[in-house]
């Protein structure tokens, strides 16, 4: 995903949060959840998907973006 956005020079900066720990009952799951909420509140927009689709090891990733004006 990010590779493709980068290839098209999309003017977006990502803030990535890996939330696979929340799913597997990670000790930090509370913190990860709060971080996701805070990030979404800050950026007002987000993209969420399976990290697997991107060939990574963790199950679910959540990425937020902040919009950089052109």
- By CB under 8 A, name the binding residues for another protein: 1, 3-5, 7-12, 19, 22-25, 33, 36-37, 40-41, 44-50, 52-55, 57, 59-60, 65, 67
Q: List, in order, residues 6 or more apart from 53 with CB less than 8 Å away.
A: 1
Cα separations in angstroms, 52 against 1, 17, 25, 56, 59? 11, 14, 18, 5, 6
CB of residue 50 to another protein, shortest distance in Å: 6
CB of residue 53 to another protein, shortest distance in Å: 4
Encoded tokens for 51: 């990290």
CB of residue 31 to another protein, shortest distance in Å: 13
């Amino acid at each position: 995903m990010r590779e493709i956005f980068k290839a098209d020079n999309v003017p977006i900066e990502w803030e990535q949060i890996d939330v696979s720990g929340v799913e597997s009952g990670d000790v930090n799951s509370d913190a990860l959840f709060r971080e996701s909420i805070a990030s979404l509140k800050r950026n007002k927009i987000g993209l969420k998907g399976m990290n697997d689709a991107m060939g990574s090891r963790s199950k679910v990733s959540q990425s937020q973006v902040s919009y950089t004006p052109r």
